[in-house]
Amino acid sequence: MSASRERSVLRPTVREEVEEELSFHLEMRVRELVAGGLSEKAARAQALRTFGDLAGVQAECRRLGERRERGRRRGELFAELWQDLRFGVRHLRRAPTFAAIAILTLALGVGATTAMFSVMQAVLLRPLPFPDSGRLVVPTARPASGESWSITYADYLDWEQAKVFEAAAAYRIINVNVAGGAAPERLVAVQATKDFLHVLGVRPLLGRALRPEEHMPGSPRRALISYGLWQRRFGGDPAAVGSKLRMTGVDVEVMGVLPAGLSFPREADVWLPLKVFPEERASLERRDNFMFNGIARLLPGKTLAATNAELAALAARVAREQPAARAGVTMTAGPLLDELVGPTLPRTLVLMLVAVALVLVIGCVNVANLLLARSATRRRELGLRSALGASRARLGRQLLTEALVLGLTGGAVGLVVAWGAMRGLVALAPASIPRLDEVRLDLPVLGAAFAVSLFATLVFGAAPAWRLAATRAAAAAKEPTRSVTAARGRQRRVLVAVELALSLLLVVWAGLLLRSLGQLNATDPGFPTARLLTFSVSLQGDRYEGEELSINGIAELARRLAAVPGVQRSALLSSAPLGGGGFYLGRAFLAEGRPEPPAGREVNGQWSVVTPGAFAALGVPLLRGRDFTDGDTATSVPVMIVNREFARKMFPDVQNGDALGKRVRSWRDENVYREIVGIVDDVRFFGAGDEIRPLVYVPHRQCGWDTMVAVLRTTGAPDETLPAVRRAVAAFDAELPLDGVQTFDEVFATSVAPRRFGATLLASFAGLALLLALVGVYGVLSYEVAQRAREIGIRMAIGSRRADVLRMVVGEAAVLVVVGLAGGAAAALLAGRFVQPLLFETAATDAPTYLTAVALLGGVALLAASVPAVRAAASDPMKVMRAE
């Protein structure tokens, strides 16, 4: 029986002690009084009287006694802990190689996990910088199809009238050409209703916010600018407030500067008042003109659910009153943070965090195995201490404390690793991940690192401590160190199998993401991207005022670009495929003679305005009919060219998708019948990973558009042609900036970047796991072979051949590998549903990926096993036997 339990059973409680002590006192007093001649009864009464408040004294003594007892126990515990800590540190210093390997393994795991968590913290968890940002929401329109649309101006007016929010604003993002600097530049601007800044809770750093009357049509042109623009354009001079900025061809007075980091949306540099001119009013207030974004602040104390119920009720009323425009469309608000982060990113980051945590666990398993191997050699020491009276709990505590020394040291070194890894992650990450510049080692991240270290300690420290509890300490002292118990071997083997299973999970995930990336890279965007230069221009100012001037401007620019030496073909489009920029506009279409379908069942298509020659410039094959010409004008027959997918969706019954000559209208907005004069091939529209979508092209002379994306197929390298292109644009309009200049190869790379990031990251985690698994399998097997040297020696002495020994050792490893890999494959299949949305044209159960992963890991494991196996087979039986 252990010492501590003995104490707790035999030692009387404080209460019993106090009672015994006081009753002794009273008894002695009674005895004395009786000796003095009193009766037993009288003596007892007097003894109690002289004593005073017996119950009170008893309670006080008990209180004091118990306090003392607690203090003593605590003191003992701390003394033991301190002793264990010193012992642990001393112990590790005596085994520097072991300590270095263990600490490094842990530091890698803790560091990588911490870095990943810091990214998650910055991107997903940390609140937005606005005051009380949890109450900021984004209201959106939800059609029956389940998509998320922006809102109409009329909806915003509804909220204001019904006081659904504490404050709400409608805004739209436009681009403005700003002249007057070294070169004209195009900036992102926000046109917002009066309460925009009030909703966000942001005050200008300098100057003042725009007043409600400054949002009235005809009021002087005024704007707020971002901190960045203030620094860039005005060098941070406070005199910027009150000065004029020449934008969109007119002078606008700067009224204030917004604080750094409190811009919304992030990319915006200019905030303008939304002025509703009388001639625009009818169009703006249409219930199906979803051209605004909404932002709002919840009323204090009102939940999102209650607010959404009100929005739904408002939307239901609108749908009843104007079914043509709004049947089936409801309204829902969601947290601003969710809106900014988007739907896929949290899943990706969670997967990465799980993956990196698995690497940590695999590392912990290796350290646990090292500790187990060491504890085997320490059995005599521990057995001795146990025989000298240390309880098993005490020894277990000592082992855990030693593990804690390792864990916390590993954690501290891990912070350094985390800091480096964080910088690496930020550098590697695609620009599309929001708030990544806010990644830092803050308190929650440090807390997480500490928690992770403790967790790791428990994972790798529990095994030796647990094993200790399972051994008969007394027996251990007598046992020779060399003998191997079956229990220990099994435990280490289970750990290795777990390690292999987790590694396989990681390798499968990495394989799936890499395969997705491969698929994505191999996708055909529908046109050749080589030597294809693109940029965006926005014709603004008086010289383009009015439809005709604007159309002529675009035509003139197209003509000048085509004439630039080195430009093979060129064109201008309102939106470029492959996510190349422009204004993306989805519209619903209806073929002539068909009834209007219910909401959610219409054929949608992306609306693009193009100049003649756009398909030739892009290299999109024209399958049937003709391209637009300069003859397609405002006065000629309205025409359109559609892609194959549109023809298939709109006319599923027509053979070969031959929709030429049919008439289609965009029945909710333009509502003009256009004749299909051409059918072009499909392209990936929103990026390389996009599905094939229905697309509609209309000639620019029939639909004026002032912001266009230029595409130029060059004969040589695009860089070489760019200066001449810039000169041509400047000759056309010196105040016209080129925005988003890039090649289509770059556009493609950008659209692939998030997946590349995920796949690279996961592949490096998997590589780390593979390495750790290799070390783990090798470590366990070579240890076992060393332990069994005598047995192997005997086997060989009585006639086993080297091949038999080799087969035996590798065979035993193979069992381990098969069990581990089977477990890992099962886990990967179970996790498939979580991973599937992150994959591109790859099934989460993709057999080649699984087979490759199993072959890779199995091969590595058997390779790791073969080294000790060969060593065992090569051993000289006589030497081994003599050594024992």
Partner 1 sequence: MPKLRSDRLHGTLDALVLKAMSWGPRHGYAIARWLEQSTDAELRIEEGSLYPALYRLEERGWIEADWGTSELGRRAKFYRLTERGDEELRRETVEWTRFAAAVTRVLAATA
- Which member of 67, 244, 472, 543 binds partner 1 (CB under 8 A)? 67
3-state secondary structure 29-63: HHHHHHHCCCCHHHHHHHHHHHHCCHHHHHHHHHH
DSSP lists the bridge partners of residue 334 as 138
| 54 lies in the site for partner 1, by CB under 8 A | yes
From the number of C-beta atoms within 10 Å of its C-beta (0-12, 13-18, 19+), residue 97 rates as: exposed
Residue 15: strand, helix, or coil:
helix
**Which one, of 381, 356, 375, 538, lies nearest residue 448 by Cα?**
356
The least CB distance from residue 783 to partner 1, in Å, is 51
DSSP assignment of 451-482 equals HHHHHHHHHHHHHHHHHHHHS-HHHHHHS-TT
**Which one, of 112, 184, 160, 225, lies nearest residue 456 by Cα?**
112
Interface stretch with partner 1, choices 63-71, 416-424, 757-765, 790-798 (CB under 8 A): 63-71
| CA–CA gap between residue 370 and residue 783 (Å, rounded) | 10
The least CB distance from residue 29 to partner 1, in Å, is 7
The least CB distance from residue 12 to partner 1, in Å, is 9
Q: Which two tokens stand for residue 530?
A: 């080589």
* Cα four-point dihedral sign 172, 174, 179, 182: positive
- Which member of 35, 36, 41, 53 binds partner 1 (CB under 8 A)? 53
Q: Which is nearer to partner 1, 35 or 282 (CB)?
A: 35
Q: Which residue has the tokens 């799936």?
A: 512
| 76 lies in the site for partner 1, by CB under 8 A | no
Q: Which is nearer to partner 1, 18 or 504 (CB)?
A: 18
**Which one, of 835, 774, 735, lies nearest residue 347 by Cα?**
835
Q: Footprint of partner 1 on residues 10-49 (CB under 8 A)?
A: 17-18, 20-22, 24-25, 27-29, 31
**Which one, of 489, 493, 490, 491, lies nearest residue 501 by Cα?**
493
Q: Footprint of partner 1 on residues 507-546 (CB under 8 A)?
A: none
Interface stretch with partner 1, choices 58-66, 127-135, 222-230, 416-424 (CB under 8 A): 58-66
Q: Are 288 and 668 in contact (CB under 8 A)?
A: yes
| CA–CA gap between residue 602 and residue 333 (Å, rounded) | 25
Q: Which is nearer to partner 1, 64 or 260 (CB)?
A: 64
| 61 lies in the site for partner 1, by CB under 8 A | yes
With b for 16 or more beta-carbon neighbours within 10 A and e for fewer, the 760-782 pattern comes to ebbbbbbebbbebbbbbbbbbbb
| 82 lies in the site for partner 1, by CB under 8 A | no
CB-CB neighbours of 458 under 10 Å: 15
The least CB distance from residue 10 to partner 1, in Å, is 12
As a dihedral over the C-alpha atoms of residue 95, residue 101, residue 103, residue 106, rounded to 10 degrees, the angle is: -150
Q: Which is nearer to partner 1, 17 or 288 (CB)?
A: 17
Q: Which is nearer to partner 1, 53 or 213 (CB)?
A: 53
Q: Which is nearer to partner 1, 19 or 339 (CB)?
A: 19
With b for 16 or more beta-carbon neighbours within 10 A and e for fewer, the 381-399 pattern comes to ebbebbeeebbbebbbbbb
The least CB distance from residue 2 to partner 1, in Å, is 23
| 64 lies in the site for partner 1, by CB under 8 A | yes
Question: Half-sphere exposure (CA, 13 Å, Cβ side) for 54?
Answer: 16
Q: Which is nearer to partner 1, 29 or 587 (CB)?
A: 29
| 56 lies in the site for partner 1, by CB under 8 A | yes
The least CB distance from residue 64 to partner 1, in Å, is 4
| CA–CA gap between residue 50 and residue 861 (Å, rounded) | 84
**537 contacts: CB under 8 Å, gap ≥ 6:** 557, 572, 707, 708, 710, 729, 736, 737, 738, 739
Q: How many residues bind to partner 1 according to rule CB under 8 A?
A: 25
Q: Which is nearer to partner 1, 71 or 565 (CB)?
A: 71
The least CB distance from residue 77 to partner 1, in Å, is 18
The least CB distance from residue 32 to partner 1, in Å, is 8
Q: Which two tokens stand for residue 245?
A: 């900025």
The least CB distance from residue 13 to partner 1, in Å, is 14
Interface stretch with partner 1, choices 56-64, 285-293, 369-377, 698-706 (CB under 8 A): 56-64
The least CB distance from residue 500 to partner 1, in Å, is 58
The least CB distance from residue 43 to partner 1, in Å, is 14
The least CB distance from residue 45 to partner 1, in Å, is 15
The least CB distance from residue 367 to partner 1, in Å, is 43
Q: Which is nearer to partner 1, 24 or 466 (CB)?
A: 24
Q: Which is nearer to partner 1, 67 or 208 (CB)?
A: 67
Q: Which two tokens stand for residue 614?
A: 């756009």
Q: Which is nearer to partner 1, 71 or 180 (CB)?
A: 71
Interface stretch with partner 1, choices 62-70, 130-138, 704-712, 774-782 (CB under 8 A): 62-70
Q: Which is nearer to partner 1, 57 or 345 (CB)?
A: 57
Which helix (H) or strand (E) segment holds residue 639: the answer is strand 639-643
Footprint on this chain of partner 1 (rule: CB under 8 A): 17-18, 20-22, 24-25, 27-29, 31, 50-54, 56-57, 60-61, 64-65, 67-68, 71
